[in-house]
Chain A
Amino acid sequence: MLEYDFMRIAFVAAFWVGIVCGPVGWFLVLRGQTFASHALSHVGFAGATGALLLGFPPLAGLTSGALLAGILMGVAPERTAGRDVMIGLVLSVALGLGALCLHFLTHAASAATALLFGDILGVSRTMLLWLVALSVCCLGALAFMGRPLLFASLQPELAAAKGVRLRVLDIAFLALVALATAECAQITGILLVFTLMVAPAATVLRLGIAPLYGLALAACLAVAEAWGGLVLSWYTDAPTSFWIALLGALGFVGACVSRRVTSA
């Protein structure tokens, strides 16, 4: 399968996306913000369809839409009652807007499928370059803010007392999540962002591995699941996203079972 150019590109793209989604997802699960990432991907969908309509590449629309929403979400008064409701509202309005944009697109059906369920085999060389650049930025940012982010996530009150700027970290982290979500949507589609963002990270967290190793392992697991999905879809003809989703779920269930067995 590696003799085909599109497969080689797909493997490289899956590597760079997985290596970001794993650790970003680790913090996302730790902080209990997975719903926010789900919402960001939907805003990204509206951005992507809007970009298509205006003749821009969808990745640009996806990234800027998600990034804008992520920053706004971080700036919005935190820990207010009904934040879930607000995110849910934004999510549905964004999806509705996306549907509206699709309505005016000529090749609506294929564009919609690619956005919603991912199209890893359709990644072009230019897009790959963009993905690599985004990944390098994300990993750099994560390495830079890793320590205070971990502290603030685990013990916000104490971190604030020790001079950690919670607000700045909140915003920076959600912006990071937005970028990772946009990348991930390229591979798994908007509807299945959870599979690469949340499943590997939740699996690793469930195993109770110390933070730094957990972050590294989440990255490895995300890459492994993405590659596994590619290989399986090559041999079975089922879509990559399906296999990635299934592998993610299996990994998580496996971690839960092994945890139960070892603690019993």
Chain B
Amino acid sequence: MSTPAVQVLHATVVRGGQAVLQDVSFTVPRGSFVGVLGANGAGKTTLFQALLGLAPAQSGTLHINGAPVHCGNAAVGYMPQMRKVVGGQLSGWSMVAAALKGRKWGLPWCGRAGRAAVDAALAAVDAQDLARKPLETLSGGQRQRLLLAQTLLDDPSLLLLDEPLASLDPARMRETALRIHSLAQSRNMTVLMSAHDINPLMGVMDHVLYLARGKALLGTVDEVITTEALTALYGAQVDVVRAGGRVFVVAEGGGSALQPHDCPGGHSHA
């Protein structure tokens, strides 16, 4: 078999004096679409930062495409969770283009090849028209589409998307998940995508990576999202309820361990 896209072995990542990920091991094969799930503070963002080389692991090893993780890896496309809008008057095109060879010194000049690359990335997500408008006039979901285009700029083989579905309505969530899926298929990309609701990802995901209490569990939906597996992961009674083709993960006492966006117009999580 070829080298795995992501291989994490006995990794411990400490944040603010507390081990967020503890002795975590998992392997993601190439071309796989992985939904990274877990409650707030479970360590999804921390895991991505560790894979980007921004949060060094205390112990253990993390490899991407067979090479140890390092900062500024062009093979990794990243969509951060924090999406503050700076320079709202600038066009979406300018924002996307700013990432092009963004770490190279010099004037922010794209050149013909650069402009073509930006246009191609925007075309891949059908955002050419959006990109002409000033950022501040776009909705959150439209801006997210531009950010998705931006992750494609360096032709990455691995996408780390931190909650790309946040603040989208249920229909848009599904649409975005399908869009990412088809992009990944056509470009042979491996995708790790964190989310709070498993349902928009059903049928799209190949694997689930479930994070809780510093531990991680990787497997197919049928393997991981079960009452037994999640109860063992949480160390407390967790029930998986399937109703009307949807999945709900419910913690003891009625609170949901994952927060599903089940009802249209329901609450959203930042």
- Report the interface size for chain A: residues with CB under 8 A from the other chain: 29
Instruction: Known pairs A144-B105, A207-B89, A210-B90; list 14 more (Cβ under 8 Å).
Output: A32-B86, A144-B106, A148-B105, A151-B98, A153-B86, A154-B98, A157-B80, A161-B52, A161-B54, A162-B78, A162-B103, A164-B102, A205-B87, A211-B108
Interface flag for A163 (CB, 8 Å): yes
| Nearest CB in chain A to that of B93: its residue | A210
Partner of B103, one of A31, A164, A211: A164
Knowing A157-B80, A158-B150, A206-B89 are in contact, say whether A163-B103 is a contact too (CB < 8 A).
yes
Interface flag for A80 (CB, 8 Å): no
Q: Are B107 and A143 in contact (CB under 8 A)?
A: yes
Task: List the B side residues contacting A145 at CB < 8 Å.
Answer: 105
For chain B, give the interface size range: 20 to 34
Q: Which A positions have Cβ atoms within 8 angstroms of B?
A: 30-32, 143-148, 150-151, 153-155, 157-164, 205-208, 210-212
Distance A205 CA – B54 CA, assembled complex (angstroms) = 32
Partner of A212, one of B82, B108, B134: B108
Task: List the B side residues contacting A163 at CB < 8 Å.
Answer: 71-72, 103
Task: List the B side residues contacting A154 at CB < 8 Å.
Answer: 86-87, 90, 95, 98
Q: Are B71 and A211 in contact (CB under 8 A)?
A: no
Closest 9 CB pairs of A and B: A163-B72, A151-B102, A157-B80, A208-B89, A147-B108, A161-B52, A150-B108, A163-B71, A161-B78
Task: List the A side residues contacting B91 at CB < 8 Å.
Answer: 208, 210
| Nearest CB in chain B to that of A29: its residue | B87
Q: Are A157 and B82 in contact (CB under 8 A)?
A: yes
Identify whether the interface residues of B are mostly helix, strand, loop, or mixed. loop
Task: List the A side residues contacting B87 at CB < 8 Å.
Answer: 30, 153-154, 205
| Nearest CB in chain B to that of A147: its residue | B108
Distance A29 CA – B91 CA, assembled complex (angstroms) = 16
Partner of B106, one of A147, A158, A160, A208: A147
* A159–chain B nearest beta-carbon distance, Å: 6
* A257–chain B nearest beta-carbon distance, Å: 15
Q: Are A146 and B106 in contact (CB under 8 A)?
A: yes
* B152–chain A nearest beta-carbon distance, Å: 13
Partner of A155, one of B89, B98, B134: B98
Interface flag for B112 (CB, 8 Å): no
Task: List the A side residues contacting B106 at CB < 8 Å.
Answer: 143-144, 146-147
Task: List the B side residues contacting A30 at CB < 8 Å.
Answer: 86-87
Q: Are A162 and B107 in contact (CB under 8 A)?
A: no
Distance A155 CA – B105 CA, assembled complex (angstroms) = 17
Q: Are B107 and A146 in contact (CB under 8 A)?
A: yes
Q: Are B107 and A155 in contact (CB under 8 A)?
A: no
* B231–chain A nearest beta-carbon distance, Å: 35
Task: List the A side residues contacting B94 at CB < 8 Å.
Answer: 210-211
